[in-house]
Each structure stands twice: as structure tokens, then as C-alpha cells.
Structure 1
Amino acid sequence: MITIISSFVAIGMALLVLFVRMKSAKKPATAKKIILPPIFMSTGALMFIHPMFRVTVAEIFEALLVGMVFSILLIKTSNFEIRENNIYLKRSKAFAFILIGLLLIRIIMKSYLSSTIDLGELSGMFWILAFGMIVPWRIAMYISYKRVKEQLDSSTNIPTT
């Protein structure tokens, strides 16, 4: 029952991410908007204070590896463009499909693993997976943003004679 409820919560979160992504594509990107989400998410690591959520070292590495592999898809669909002398995140139709696909994979994994792994431990693993996905994605976005910003700055600082 808890697995079903948590799956609906995950679906709600995915819809929220899609909505935020669509809305943010209409506003110029900033380094702050790229960097802050992983910092805010890092507070979730406090869950590991409670013994119920603690995971083994092997489970940490497994969850991180899966998260990093998933991040590749997000990195590939997150590109920036210069419009009206500002930097914008390019809209990608593939992003929505990838996010939904990752969500489905996650729900299937959670349903399968919930029969063999304790709920608290599984929750910890999925938080690590999500963190292992968002951090490389946002680092890649930041690097890409900086490149586009340098390009924008160099094109706007052309000396006139």
C-alpha cells in the first residue's frame, strides 16, 4: 500500500517538474537557478540520521551509479540558447518523454525491490538515486550555461571603432 502511495507521490513530483521546466523555459536562465535545486535537495540527506533509512555501502554505490546513468538522458536534453540578449533553456519535447520513462522505470524498480528490501532502506536508496541523477545533470547544465554566457559576453563586448 505504501509503495502505491509513494508511486502516486512520484507521479505528482514528475508532473511538477514538467510544469516547472516548461515555465522556466520562458524566463532567462541564471547560474543560481541551476545550482540551487541540488543544494535544496541535499537537505534530504538528513533522513539518514534515522536508522530506518540507512543503506549499505554497496547500496549507496548501486543507487549512485543508476542515478548517474539516468542523468545522461537529462543532460542530453538540457541545452541553452541565446535569445534577446539573454540565455534560455531550450524546450525539448524529448525531456517530457524521458522524464516519464525514468519515472516508469523507477516505479517498476520500486515495486520489484519493495518485496526484498526494507521500505526505509529502499527510500534511502531512491533518494540517493535521485541525488545521483540531479547533481551530474546540474553540473553539466552549469558548465553548458557558462559556455553560452561566455559566448554572449564576448558578442556583446565587441569594441567599436
Structure 2
Amino acid sequence: MALAVIFVRLKASNKPVTIKKILIPPMGMATGFLMFVAPAVRVPILWALIAFLVGWFLFSYPLIRSTKFEVSEGHIFAKRSKSFVVILFVLLIVRTVLHQVIDEYVSIPQSGALFFLLAFGMIVRWRIFMLKQYRTIEASGALNSDPITPQTPNQP
């Protein structure tokens, strides 16, 4: 599954970025909060807050550092970072190791809930950063700076 995510992220950099493409992943992921309806998944609020904040401050940082946009042909594209794939693999390995440690102290459903919160914190902060960067580029007028091709007058 992790390889599929990496492949999809790499393919996405070939298409222009839009606000919708920035906002849909965290909004779709937010439906995962429905898991907390099940009592077996619930964790103490302090644990949930810590997991979210670890994702927000620690795990989002490498993604933010490796995300850059560029303007081409009047569209905004995510610039491919050579380190992006490495960062995703390192995050996967760290998450797997943490999962093994945490599983000794909490149940599997609770562990899943904590890692969901960690991932949600990471994705939300990363996407907020992307949205701010996107809007900065939009506001700068860089999208409209493409040379205008002269039009020939209509001939009768």
C-alpha cells in the first residue's frame, strides 16, 4: 500500500495543482474519525493530542521541506523533489518501528487510532502549507505572466 501511495504521489506531480487537489485528501481522510464511534478504538484524549501533535510538528516537517511549486504554462505544478521518495520511505520505516513499540502497550485498534491521528496531523499541516504556498503564487501574478500570443485581425 505504501508503494502505491508513493507511485500515485509521483504521478500527481505531472498534473497541475489546484486548490481542490490540495484540500480533498485531508477532507477525505477526516471520515476516518468515524472509527472513534467504536469503543475498542477510543484512546485517552491526552494520547490522541500527543499523536496529533507529533504528526503536526515532527512528521509533517520533511514533507513541507520537500514540497515546492513551480509555474509552467500558466499552471502551478508540484516540483519533483529528489528526496520526496526517500522521505516517504523513511516515514514508513519510522512508523512501522513505532507501531511495533506501541503495540506492546495498547490494543491493535487503539494503535490504529493513534497512528491515524498522527497521520492526520501530518497531512493537515502539510496541506495547509501547500495551500498557503499555492495562494502566494496565485497572488503574485506569476500565473498571468505568460507571454500573450498576438492575435491576427479578422479578415473580411
TM-score norm. by structure 1 comes to 0.86
Considering only CA atoms, is the larger Rg found in Structure 1 or Structure 2? 2
Alignment of 1:62-101 (within 5 A): 62-68=50-56, 69-101=58-90
8 Å CA contact 2:69–2:76 kept in 1: the answer is: yes
| TM-aligned CA deviation for residue 16 of structure 1 | 1.9
Match of 1:42 in 2: 30
Match of 1:135 in 2: 124
1:3-47 per-position Cα deviation (integer Å, ceiling 9, x unaligned):
xxxxxxxxx1x2122111111111111010000000000001000
Percent identical across equivalent pairs?
42
Unaligned runs of 5+ in 1: 1-11
Superposed structure 1 runs of 4+ greater than 4 Å apart? none
Unaligned runs of 5+ in 2: 149-156
Q: Which of these residues, 43, 53, 70, is aligned with residue 41 of structure 2?
A: 53
Aligned length: 146
Task: Say whether 1:23 aligns with 2:18.
Answer: no
SS in 2 for 1:27: coil
Task: Say whether 1:116 aligns with 2:105.
Answer: yes
SS in 1 for 2:76: strand
SS in 1 for 2:16: coil
| TM-aligned CA deviation for residue 50 of structure 1 | 0.2
CA RMSD, Structure 1 to Structure 2 (Å)? 1.6
Greater helix share, 1 or 2? Answer: 1
TM-score norm. by structure 2 comes to 0.88
| TM-aligned CA deviation for residue 150 of structure 1 | 2.0
